Chains A and B, each alone.
With several copies, the nearest count.
Chain A
Amino acid sequence: MSRTIEFRDALREAMSGEMREDPRIFLIGEEVAQYDGAYKVSRGMLEEFGPRRIIDTPISETGFAGLGIGAAMMGLRPIVEFMSWSFSLVAADQILNNAPKMLYMSGGQFRVPIVFRGNDGAGGQLGSTHSWCVESLYANVPGLKMVIPSDPYDAKGLLTAAIRDPDPVFCLESERMLSMTGEVPEESYELPIGQAVIRREGADCTIVSFGRPVHFCMEAAEELAKEGIDCEVIDGRSIKPLDIDTVTASVRKTNCCVVVDQSWSFASVGSEVAAEVHRYCFDDLDNHVHRVHSDDVPAPYAHNLEAEMLPNARKICEAVRSVTYNA
């Protein structure tokens, strides 16, 4: 039985559902317990699971990320919430050096089944320190997996999969989507990590995106349909591992590709997708892969500047028109 709930509720259902099944799972982070979460994602979890499993922390990201890693090495299954991924930089050594490498460094002796989750991307005029898109920064590192849900259904399914996964998984959420509603089954379910989904079928151009910008791609596709350009929109769902096969299969059909990545352009998820599509579809492509990113500048505060910096339907339409121009 499925009903309409918010993105934040879907995240909570994934956590609570798994916690009921598995006593090894706990949630730790700033304000997750008594405050119900800075963004109310963990509302009510303290009452249900108590202070031993829903744990408020000091403002010590290195401390509690590392604590989670140690607990995971002992076989527990921590969910570590970063109020924002923007605050994970102070814990970079723990999340990039320890979590994803412990299994390797120990010759396979110590698994780190941990989930790091929190808000990623522009939250709305939060300025340069608070608007990080960490996907391109962190996805470079082997040993970690990365998922980035774009709606409530995916939020529950991907976070559930992340919690059950034996490896470290980074779950990138978006403050701007937490109140978005959608159909979500009551029972628990998993969406396989590393599998993309086709959001809209189309014959003329493949648009690949991840997380919140997927919605801008859908807008753009509607707009472009009016112009007779029929777009296929792919939601990657996972960034690492990347489901390149779904993308290349689509590009072999459309012969055109635009990748939309909310992070900065240089050495990004977008450049990875572009490079790989060219590799696998070199002879199928009518044009080089076009990319839409945030401008290569720190996030500004001013409303008009931030709006101009971020990817949007207008920019996506322009890119698709350009890539399909002489196709």
Chain B
Amino acid sequence: MLTDQTTVPSSSRPSTQAHANEKVPLPGPEVLVKWLRDMKLIREFEVRAMQAYQNKLAGGFLHVYNGQEAVAVGCLAALEPHDPVITAYRDHGHALARGLDPKVGMAELFGRIDGCAKGKGGSMHFFDAPNHMYGGHGIVGAQTPVGAGLAFATMYEDEVINSKSNSRVTLCFLGDGALNQGAFHEAANLAQVLGLPVIYIVENNRYAMGTAIERCTSSAGSLLHKAVAYGMDAIEIDGMDITKTYPAMKALVNDIRANPRPAFVDIDCYRFKGHSVSDPRKYRTHEEEQENEANDPIDNLAKFLMSSGVMEENDVKTMSKEIRTEIRAAVKWAEESPPPDLDELYHDVYVDKWGPYTGTSLPKFMDESSGEKA
């Protein structure tokens, strides 16, 4: 008769693992130092963002990235500047790692006109076209088909329009909880059927809001089976030690760029803070949190750099100071940025100005020259 054990050994892991890595060396010291700086900057940005949130400078939901910084920094370091990136609502880290100016991000959190989305998007919806950052998406899983579309477009532009060979790789980040949205499965199958160069990176921080992954995501021991279901290449990566994250991601990105097809990454990490600022975290023990906080990706890299003599303790302190100053300046700059003009309500609904809806007449398209459209 059938039994779970005989069928799917709960320890089983598809044979994917072994072949994962072309050995990619770590980059030179200056790059490693920049990574440390990038991670510290994300951390500091969000610490200040949480303060601002408490002080009602920012509103809505605030989901911070503390503990997962090595994922965004390590993965995006494996990209070329023109590679598209898309993620969910826990997006500050990705946007900053991708090159968003912290003060512009802070202004977005404050709902100011100088924000990366003119204050219209907010924390969950960071968009940054110049850095090929395609959001910032609030609906769980909804970015995964869109991510397939970004990859489709890179391939289509290169191969169909410019008839050269594919040059870009798309990274689509999602949470472990998003694996339970149908959208992801439709996207994964489509990506495989169409052979799209998109890497689905599951930031497996072990919780979907208050629900531990074991309680909501069934799988035969390994999440990699979710990809094997589509015949998709899949690997596991350590997301808490960027010296492991980067080489594995870089090898994968190189491979996908050379042989366009989708891939799946189960990247192990931990969310230090609550799901959002309002989360009391009753669903996990203090011990568990301390244990994981002891494995802070920022400290890990700092220790590595000091032990390998690249930095002195003092250099790290100085770096922290500089960053604190930079972010404090960003907060000040954001506070001084004005809120959007009320007229902004009616811009960007459509490419042409729309509205306003006055309650006594339907909205209409308006000329930018303020008169109604001919």
- Residues on A facing B (Cβ under 8 Å): 23-24, 26, 30-31, 34-35, 38, 52-53, 55-76, 86-87, 89-90, 93-94, 97-98, 102-111, 124-130, 142-143, 145, 166-167, 194, 241-242, 244, 265-266, 276, 279, 290-293, 295-298, 300-305, 308-309, 315, 318-319, 322
Q: Is the pair B211, A31 in contact by a Cβ cutoff of 8 Å? A: yes
30 A-B pairs whose Cβ atoms sit less than 8 Å apart in the complex: A58-B193, A59-B181, A59-B208, A60-B180, A60-B181, A61-B186, A63-B180, A63-B187, A64-B186, A66-B186, A69-B149, A70-B149, A71-B149, A74-B150, A74-B154, A76-B156, A89-B139, A93-B183, A104-B348, A107-B119, A109-B127, A127-B124, A129-B125, A167-B350, A290-B360, A295-B357, A300-B120, A302-B112, A304-B339, A304-B342
Q: Which residues of A contact B39 (CB under 8 A)?
A: none
Q: Is the pair B121, A106 in contact by a Cβ cutoff of 8 Å? A: yes
Chain A nearest Cβ from B1, distance in angstroms: 26
| CB-CB under 8 A for A66 and B149, given A58-B186, A290-B360 | yes
Q: Which residues of A contact B92 (CB under 8 A)?
A: none
Q: Which residues of A contact B178 (CB under 8 A)?
A: 59
How many of chain B's residues touch chain A, expressed as a range? Answer: 35 or more
Chain B nearest Cβ from A45, distance in angstroms: 15
From A90, A104, A315, residue with most partner B Cβ within 10 Å: A104
Chain B nearest Cβ from A42, distance in angstroms: 12
> Inter-chain contact count A-B, CB under 8 Å?
315
Q: Given contacts A62-B183, A302-B111, list 13 more A-B pairs with CB under 8 A.
A: A30-B211, A58-B177, A58-B208, A70-B134, A105-B125, A127-B125, A129-B142, A142-B349, A166-B351, A241-B363, A293-B357, A302-B122, A305-B344
Q: Which residue of B lies closest to A123 (CB)?
A: B60
| CB-CB under 8 A for A297 and B359, given A59-B141, A66-B187, A111-B351 | no
Q: Which residues of A contact B183 (CB under 8 A)?
A: 62-63, 66, 90, 93-94
Partner of B346, one of A145, A297, A319: A297
Q: Is the pair A97, B145 in contact by a Cβ cutoff of 8 Å? A: no
**Stretch from B2-10, B26-34, B157-165, B328-336 that touches the partner:** B157-165
Q: Does B182 contact A (CB under 8 A)?
A: yes
Per CB-CB distance, the 10 closest pairs between chain A and chain B, nearest first, are A70-B149, A66-B145, A63-B186, A301-B122, A107-B118, A302-B111, A74-B153, A125-B59, A107-B117, A58-B180
Q: Which residue of B lies closest to A258 (CB)?
A: B359
Q: Is the pair B60, A127 in contact by a Cβ cutoff of 8 Å? A: yes
Q: Which residues of A contact B357 (CB under 8 A)?
A: 265, 293, 295-297
Q: Which residues of A contact B13 (CB under 8 A)?
A: none
Partner of B364, one of A30, A97, A102, A241: A241
Q: Is the pair A105, B152 in contact by a Cβ cutoff of 8 Å? A: no
From A72, A103, A124, A291, residue with most partner B Cβ within 10 Å: A103
| CB-CB under 8 A for A70 and B190, given A59-B177, A98-B146, A130-B138 | no
From A126, A166, A295, A318, residue with most partner B Cβ within 10 Å: A295
Q: Does B210 contact A (CB under 8 A)?
A: yes
Q: Is the pair B116, A71 in contact by a Cβ cutoff of 8 Å? A: no
| CB-CB under 8 A for A304 and B186, given A59-B178, A127-B125 | no
Q: Which residues of A contact B189 (CB under 8 A)?
A: 58, 60, 63
Q: Which residues of B contact A124 (CB under 8 A)?
A: 59-60
Q: Which residues of B contact A73 (CB under 8 A)?
A: 134, 146, 149-150, 153
Q: Which residue of A lies closest to B190 (CB)?
A: A63
Q: Which residues of A contact B360 (CB under 8 A)?
A: 279, 290, 322
